[in-house]
Amino acid sequence: MKCCGVLLVCAVLAAQVGAAQEVGSIVGTVTARETGAPLAGAAVSVLGTRLTALTAADGRYAISSVPPGTYHVRARLIGYGSAEDTIVVAAGQSVAADIRLTAQAVQLDAVVAIGYATVQQRDLTGAVASVSGDAVATKAAPTPTVNTALQGRAAGVQVITNSGMPGVGASVRIRGTNSLTANSEPLYVVDGVPAEQGVGGTSSSAQDPRNNPLMSIDPNEIESIDVLKDASAKAIYGARGANGVVLITTKRGRTGESHFTIESSYGFQRISNLIPVLNGPQYRQLRNEAIWNATRDSTRLPYTAAQIASASSYDYPGMMLRTCASSACVAAPQASEGLTLSGGNDRVRYLFSGNYMKQSGILIGSDFQRYGVRLNLDADVSERFHVGTSLSLAMVSQNVAQEENGSVGAGANGILAAMQFDPSIPPKDANGNWTKSAILGEQVENPVANSSELTQLNTISRMVGNVVGELAITDAIKLRSTFGGSFSYSGTEYYAPRTIAPGLGPGGDSYISASPVPSRQLINENTLTYRRALGPGRVDLLGGFSVQTSHNEGETARAQGCASDATMFFAYGSCRTLRPPDSNASDWTLVSYLGRANYDLNDAYLFTLTGRTDGSSRFGKNNKWAFFPSAAFAWRVSSEPFMAHQSVFGDLKLRVSYGKTGNQAIDPYRTLYQLGVCWYSIGGSEINSLCPSGTKGNPDLKWETQQQFDVGVDASVLRNRVAFTLDAYHGVTHDLLLSVPMPATSGFTNQFQNIGSVQNNGVELSVTSVNVVGARFSWRSALNLARNRNKVLDLGGVTQIFPGVRGGGFVEGGQTDIVRVGEPLGAIYGFKTNGLWQVGDRCYLTNAADCTPGEYKIADVNGDGKIDLNDRTIIGYADPKLYGGLSNNLAYGPFTLDLFMNFSYGNQVVNMSRVFNDLATGFLNERADVLDRWTPQHTNTTVPRANFARPRRIYSAQVEDGSFLRLQTVTVGYDLPIHGVWGAKAARVYVTGQNAWTATSYTGFDPEVNSMGGDPRVRGVDDGAYPRARVWNVGVNVTF
């Protein structure tokens, strides 16, 4: 860090030494060709130099310190084609260069990041989707996490928010799921520094969305996001590219006047959908009816008719909602503040930004806060040596209060537990103590008590930065070296006071735990590029070397019986019982050699060859190294002579690519035999010692390898007003890193092995259009659609495996999903039903009791005349048949209207709130749907009769269509006419609504849910997840 500081100081000092010769300047206005209206925010650059400027609200720009000479000046703006002008600058004079831009749907010469380099969009040979920073900024999508804001913005990128809890991220799948037990999240690269999800492995912490590395990034800091999708594009990242790569570029300073921007927004949140449950009398009546139907024994009925009629009713789900004591306050506010200072001259450019965001959850006991600052500097030490640095600091805190855990009864928390809790019991007894309910002798915790008094605070402090030096050895050869790192200190602090059930120990004790997790990642990358004309074309060569190291630690301290609840996390010494601590540490290293060759022949034939060799410490000595090559070819048909006189296509390019990428995303040391801590009882004493862990090492473990073939077409028509990209792909992942159960006689529970393969096929379409361009009114649209088909090809000799027990043991059989050869991942597993048994139906089962009227009519899949676990079958699929997004941007004078919709069609969801709370068993409180239950007098229904003894299973009746169409964001903006007032250059006010409207037939809180987070094998499960909020924000943006 000291070297970095010295280097920056030298750069700044050197920038103050200028040539003594006189210089000139360039001024002008950038306007729209069709309307003559001034264009704000256009980037104007002097080609061959680093001189740039941005146009102001009136379209004007000024570039100073221009040495005398002849120059080409280029102007660019998203939604318009670039244009150039040639001017001559004389010493001491100012020359005018007014530029007019033509509106077009796609900016064919836009710069796109492709990993270690950038290219013009028209020269891409691979499949790359680009999203502008404006699309994910706060005014467009008021969300604290970047990957959530990506939803529906890029074809082939499926983003599923795991829940509505503040700060929780999303599961991102690029072109489907490629692995079973290895991490399937993409690689994120922020300004050249990799940021993997969690530790990049298969542990719960690695796949926990709360460990989302993008949580600490302010969406307003982002300049652009480029998603590398096909093998040609992502092979440059080799062993980490199989799941796709997301390149995030943050904003940087530009040459010209300094700009100071302030942005502030404030809003409120409301629950979008609250599911009604039974009240006190209805619940007691259901319990009586369920027990009577199961036993026909009136002595076992828990309530008399008088007790039913006099039962109180308490709205526990309603109590979970954050409310206000005064009607004038906002119950669940959301606020964000930000400032940016940027500018520079021909030698030094800078950008400094700071941000703060606070979001209160719609449920009590949950909130999110983020503080962050960023400093980006660029300095031209000389004409041939450039230095740049990026540094960001962020602090994040998230209070989750165990709002969701997918358990039932005594282990449940959050809104699901509130739906289950006995509504006839008051929250507190006469003495002011929190109450509990009891079912079959089991104490069920009070969800309002837990959410009000239990604290689970997740905190993250993260610093990410890099220093870049670039030396132009010659005009054709450049050497670039990057030193970067990410340092974080995260942790979870948990405190359960003695006033609630989780804190009750043998003596009514409180319970406390803390789990700090410090980590660091360091990276050094060095590349050499060679660019020059070669024959009738241009050649672009890249070679490089990279080394990345990672170190993670984890500790857990626990104590019980603390002296006072007031001290919470801060007085372990006052606790009566200190439990044995846990600790762990892990390291891994990745060493890589990479290369890429591009050749453009006659601006018509584009060739790309890419290769990367990776060596990873995560694998055994026999398989540490692997090579990942790719090749791509593109034919720009529109450049051919025979296309010269046609007027249909403004641009037409055909692409084909093939390549291999890898996946190393498992925890370190899976190749080794590991030891753990075990406790033994000897002579009445507990003695701890080392013992073998449950995982057997595998020294022959190697990479997952994905092979992918892609064909695509890029085209624009109607004078570039409509542009589209169409891709079709076929990919197969071999040598899956699969956790395989071991025989009990082996002494181990599982071992990671390379067995099995998964296939993904799909089609993607992106369309952008400029629909209307007028003097006062404009309208632009963008549509993307994607269809992916996943299939398990091989599981190493077995035909199916189960991901594990779900439902806290509450569900018979325990599974909701199955992984089966020939079927896609996310196959939902359970009992198929065909309505209810009715009086007079012919019974096809041996046991007539299984055909009782009012019970589910379950398919006898194996035909043995009885219903048991062998009759389970696939009853749904979690993956959608089609998904995408549609945006419309309209402007009329100073007014703007931005609408963004996303959708999913054909996916199914296991509604566990119906599995837990819609079985009419009376075991726990249930949804109000059971009021429509079957009775001899009411048979025309889909809800079974009340029956306390009904097996609790996954029935197809509880698997619902999860298709939806959502108005994700709607923004109305107005550009205030205050240019020059108080020194302001521009000002804008806006109102934004998020999750404003949803069309769906799903009966849960929200159809877009993924309670299992990053687990690739289990999807489409709604464990009563934290409800999604409807958010309305009012904001203002002022630039000085």
The CATH code of the domain that includes 19 is 2.60.40.1120
The answer to whether residues 902 and 151 touch, using CB atoms and an 8 Å cutoff, is yes
The number of distinct structural domains making up the chain is: 2
Query: CA nearest 707: which of 762, 758, 633, 665?
Result: 758
133, 7: one domain:
no
| pLDDT per 10-residue tile (average), the chain, 1040 residues | 39 38 86 81 81 84 89 81 86 90 66 84 88 73 70 88 79 88 86 69 44 76 90 89 89 86 91 91 96 93 95 93 66 89 90 93 89 94 93 90 51 75 93 81 77 86 93 94 92 84 57 88 95 89 95 88 77 79 88 95 93 92 90 93 86 94 86 79 74 83 93 91 94 90 82 92 94 84 96 92 65 82 93 95 91 95 93 94 94 91 94 84 89 96 93 91 94 84 83 93 89 76 85 91
126, 167: one domain:
yes
Q: Which residues 6+ apart lie within 8 Å of 267 measured at CB?
A: 142, 333, 334, 335, 992, 1031, 1032, 1033, 1034
Tell me, what's the pLDDT at 622? Answer: 83
137, 179: one domain:
yes
82, 173: one domain:
no
Tell me, what's the pLDDT at 17? Answer: 37
In a domain, 933, yes or no: no
Burial 596-606 (b: 16+ CB within 10 A, else e): bbbbbeeebbb
Query: CA nearest 134: which of 975, 889, 987?
Result: 889
Give CA–CA dist 816/790, Å, rounded: 18
Give CA–CA dist 994/1032, Å, rounded: 6
148, 46: one domain:
no
Residue 364: φ, ψ to 5°: -60, 150
In a domain, 454, yes or no: no
20, 84: one domain:
yes
Two tokens, residue 927: 């949804």
In a domain, 126, yes or no: yes
Tell me, what's the pLDDT at 905? Answer: 96
Q: Is 980 helix (H, G, I), strand (E, B) or coil?
A: coil
Of 101, 135, 170, the residue at which a domain comes to its end is: 101
Cα three-residue angle 759-765-768, rounded to 5 degrees: 155
Of 222, 256, 290, the residue at which a domain comes to its end is: 256
Q: Which residues 6+ apart lie within 8 Å of 1009 measured at CB?
A: 160, 161, 162, 163, 909, 1021, 1022, 1025
Q: Is 878 helix (H, G, I), strand (E, B) or coil?
A: coil
In a domain, 240, yes or no: yes
In a domain, 219, yes or no: yes
Tell me, what's the pLDDT at 324? Answer: 64
Tell me, what's the pLDDT at 10? Answer: 40
Give CA–CA dist 850/861, Å, rounded: 15
Helix (H) or strand (E) holding 12: helix 2-15
In a domain, 221, yes or no: yes
Q: Is 942 helix (H, G, I), strand (E, B) or coil?
A: coil
144, 52: one domain:
no
Residues linked to residue 344 through DSSP beta bridges, in sequence order: 256, 349
In a domain, 645, yes or no: no
Q: DSSP assignment, residue 643?
A: G
Query: CA nearest 1038: which of 966, 943, 942, 974?
Result: 974
Q: Which residues 6+ apart lie within 8 Å of 682 measured at CB?
A: none
Find the domain containing 161 and state its range. Answer: 111-256
The answer to whether residues 885 and 131 touch, using CB atoms and an 8 Å cutoff, is no
197, 163: one domain:
yes
User: pTM of the predicted model, to two decimals?
Assistant: 0.85
Neighbours of 923 (CB within 10 A): 22
Q: DSSP assignment, residue 945?
A: P
Tell me, what's the pLDDT at 410? Answer: 44
Q: Which residues 6+ apart lie within 8 Å of 221 measured at CB?
A: 133, 250, 251, 353, 355, 374, 392
Q: DSSP assignment, residue 136?
A: H
Q: Is 1003 helix (H, G, I), strand (E, B) or coil?
A: coil
Q: Is 567 helix (H, G, I), strand (E, B) or coil?
A: helix
Two tokens, residue 604: 């018509």
CATH code of 203's domain = 2.170.130.10
Instruction: List alpha helices for 848-954, DSSP H.
Output: 912-917
Helix (H) or strand (E) holding 100: strand 99-101
135, 206: one domain:
yes
115, 241: one domain:
yes
How many angstroms separate the Cα of 972 from the Cα of each of 262, 781, 968?
Answer: 19, 16, 14
Q: Is 519 helix (H, G, I), strand (E, B) or coil?
A: strand
Q: Using the structure block, give the residue that is written with the tokens 């993924």.
A: 1010
The answer to whether residues 859 and 871 touch, using CB atoms and an 8 Å cutoff, is yes
Tell me, what's the pLDDT at 377? Answer: 95
User: What residue ranges in 272-366 does DSSP mark as E strands?
Assistant: 333-344, 348-360
158, 224: one domain:
yes
Q: What is the dihedral of CA 237, 240, 243, 247, to 10 degrees?
A: -50
160, 229: one domain:
yes
In a domain, 28, yes or no: yes
Of 228, 256, 284, the residue at which a domain comes to its end is: 256
Tell me, what's the pLDDT at 506? Answer: 44
Sequence letter at residue 457 = L
Neighbours of 623 (CB within 10 A): 17
